[in-house]
Structure 1
């Protein structure tokens, strides 16, 4: 790949990282010298520099803590001294961040991410701008995140500081274009290096997750550091760029725009992991109906988290413990009940999910003279804790109710058929001994 660069070098912050290495080498392939910046991995930086020199261009390595403005100034000056000029600043420095929900960040996590990525980039910008102005121009290339346009669950500690840098890139382009200084950003998706490799080893990115994400990619493969490097070389060196700011989207291996958006309640690819989660919720919902109809209060209680809430307003609203304590008195009004779950829709967000469960609840009065049928929907909130899905909050929406007389007699030849019971003497326990074993083991 070739590019049109002036004399001097590109300085790559994060040049010893998984993506940074690929970027630095692509600049060398394009024919320009490279200053490789590292924080702690000097041996890796030296290996990158040796590879760069194999392409017949100069290379230097510079140990810099980007959070320290003084070290940035000193290291940048050393790069200028080694190469005569720095024409391009590539920002690829950043910490390996935990994959957690925003609500679970602590201040130290967020501060560390912002100090390295946002304050660090600001240090590089304010160090390089005077030099670029004096040298007749230059270019900034920021390696951002595809999450800036399409939020990835759990990756906020990476996305948020890069969003700050996105704004800074736009500002540089607006204010410094008159000084022949360009500013471009590459929105990086899943790249087979760096943070992604660490996440794979930690089990954060499961095979099910990978299958679901790859299903949305036109090229059906992960991106590579070389892909990002080629885009980075194009950004400052390509004559085709006429705008002062350009945002290239590299969503994994694809250089297309956003991945297709699927309405979560509509047809879409479903990973094996999500399919298993859906089955777990279906089991949870079915177990609720069984527990209520068979008056298995221990089972019902086990379906809720300890801080779970049940809302059957206006009759009851309260904790799971209080709900189970209230149920026996309430259910004594009915000789028999049958809770049927007719259909369900679920939406997942990590370890949280919500469901709309269409249900029919039939009740026969204690004297057997009337039947009450409630048609409605459960609005459920679920949480997975320690790998197990339970109700965090369950409420009922009544769509229609029927209060009807109950016909007596044997009009349809039911003599001799096993008759259901609301309690432990129901025939199901005699016919399905595993069910009886589970009920008695919880007593």
Structure 2
């Protein structure tokens, strides 16, 4: 017979409080995102006060000394304003030409039909019907557009774009125009012997023409008047070497300092203070604690990473060794997920350049000495080997795997091909040069 009864039992359960969720969220934010988050929090909470701050310096034990110094320099103040669009640049060139009003208007109309890469996106038959002009008049306007800078603008196809650049270049390689007119499909993959036979020229002449064509820009206007805004990286941590000691400091430029507004402080000690103000005060204090926890956690993680990647400071990326977040978590006594959140979206400025903090965590490649080498270091060595090859006898993927094995790096041919493609290096057949 079924019945109901009350049972009391003890159970251990992990629950996340709102303050813990907020602390986790703050830890994942980059410096720029944190500045925006604090600005929004201060606008919603009058108890929370923000003020300007200078870069804070953190000290590290042993070899990783926590250096001094501060700076209030804000790199965002050096960002350039918006540049003119491609259409505006082309129209400004057309207006200074000695043209009739009708021809100028048609050329400016066509300039507005050019995409970000410099190609004309409208058919001339459509232009004739829209503007009520003849095809000869439309072609005359197109000639004006294609005479502008940069060379190749206004092209309707890749072939026409290359031909426009070749015709305007007085130092163009011989037979380059004939090679493009013969068809671009014959250039990939390229064989100078077959190309020379087809054009009745020598292999050396075909190779020179091919090299010249490869140097042309297939998207001549890609970097002009782009609608995409440039992406500026402000590092979260700055690492420098001073007198042989590694110094680490948090880059706090642009991040406001947060505190409790003093004008409201006397209210908090009054027993008659409204509970809503006490809640706002608790919220502000939680935000301040989260910010300080973020700083401490980030410094500990970066310090541990640099202690493990000690060779990086002297040798650069080639000195990186395999490293996992689990190893760093065990080293500093934190959970692996905490390390992952601290690393997410953070950048480090080093003497060798600005690197994403995730770049210091790489997989390992086995060596004949029994240790492991980072994948990034292997890629750098692979790139260096390809740079030493002969132009007429480039290394195949199998040959590269053999050379790396002689240096103690065990890689299969497929892995070599994978790393070569990630480095955007062509295959041996496409790298080969004749003559």
What range is the shorter-chain TM-score in?
under 0.3
Larger RCO (CA under 8 A, 6+ residues apart): 2
Between Structure 1 and Structure 2, which shows a larger proportion of helix residues? 2
Instruction: Give the TM-score normalised by the residue count of structure 1.
Output: 0.20
